[in-house]
Amino acid sequence: MTLTPPLPTEDLTARYADAVMNTFGPPKLTLVRGEGAHVWDADGKEYVDLLGGIAVNALGHAHPALVGAVHEQMSTLGHVSNFFTTGPQVELAETLLRLVDAGEGKVFLANSGTEAVEAAFKLTRRTGRTHVVVAENGFHGRTMGALALTSKAAYREPFEPLPGHVTFVPYGDSAALDAAVSDETAAVLLEPIQGEAGVNVAPEGYLAHARALTEQHGALLWLDEIQSGMGRPGAWFAHHLPGIGGDPHVRPDLVTVAKGLAGGFPIGACVATGAAADLLQPGNHGTTFGGNPVACAAALAVIATIEGDDLMAHADRVGRRLRAGLAAEDRVTEVRGEGLLIGVSLSTEKAPEVVASAQERGWIVNATTPDRVRLAPPLVLTEADAEAFLAAWPDILDGAQA
């Protein structure tokens, strides 16, 4: 097979503008290859990827375990439809139930985070109730159902009316939950760490309060761990951390998972526990590609590598070093997060300029608000790369001020 040689960035960017729908704006880079936490653009320039495809590339780029698993599964059995099952599908569902650690349950496998949310949203309707309580600044996806649960006006308003009876409450405010949740509420949906909002961490006791409140009113507790899960916070899920989920941690009825689950291969999962696991019945929901054996094999390879290489402890250790180093800079007002999901608040609204300055110097980060930068690097980010970024950080900030 002859591969088309990479074209220069300028050429591909122009063709992108002519051929690809303008839903994301112009691409910042044309990337052609990656290795670990490093990527190269079409012009041969190297970058350290501190965004990881927005928390997706858990094992970085071109990890041998992931490449090998996808190659082997595709060479054996690539797709079978949901009339049938495969070993990887069943093994992944069993593994996710073990990792969620919420007792017995069942898993619906989808193709993305927003589809996992759609499945969970439909599942809540099977309680016989329609009311869902969701936190402000939460992000749960862009499909119409998931968008109904996402609070950001700029995302929602062009597409209203959206489905659902949804009440938004301030994040981290237990009293607001008390006022919003009633015996008519089907579910409370919360992110243990809000990634899209710039890495807002749930205050201690908040999720436990939500758990007690939902039990009191017969509602489901649904935790969205799409960005914060799969080892990124230094545990399999952010709600497993004692400071967020308590000790012992809260036991949710629903957990939605995606992003890092298969390290870049499209997948999502809705994990339901206890009685919630049997709310969806045959004919209630479906998917063509969900549970695809190649995606499941990729996810199993990612999970095995995170466990085998002790990457959660590594993420915790490197994340602590990054947060401490970033916070030492006078132009940083706050650093939040757990593990390798980090939000950096700046003293000025220069986050987009910081992103541009970092990229110019060979570092990929992103801005979630005018004054906040987010880091979500691969879990394989080396300590040497982390130290090099901290050494470059003052110069990146200088460049943003220029």
Which residues are known binding-site members?
Answer: 113-114, 139, 142, 224-227, 287-288
Amino acid identity of residue 111, one-letter, is: N
DSSP reduced 3-state for 182? coil
Residues β-bridged to residue 344:
335, 373
Residues β-bridged to residue 110:
268
Q: Which DSSP category does 263 fall into?
A: T
| Residue 134 C-alpha from the chain's centroid | 17
Amino acid identity of residue 343, one-letter, is: G
Query: Which residues are part of a known binding site for pyridoxal 5'-phosphate?
Result: 113-114, 139, 224-227, 288
The Cα–Cα gap between 94 and 74 comes to 21
* Backbone CA torsion sign across 280, 283, 285, 291: positive
Residues in the chain: 402
Query: Which residues are part of a known binding site for N(2)-acetyl-L-ornithine?
Result: 142, 287
Q: How many Å from the N-terminal Cα to the C-terminal Cα in the chain? A: 47
Q: Is 172 left (phi over 0), alpha (psi -120 to 50) or beta?
A: left
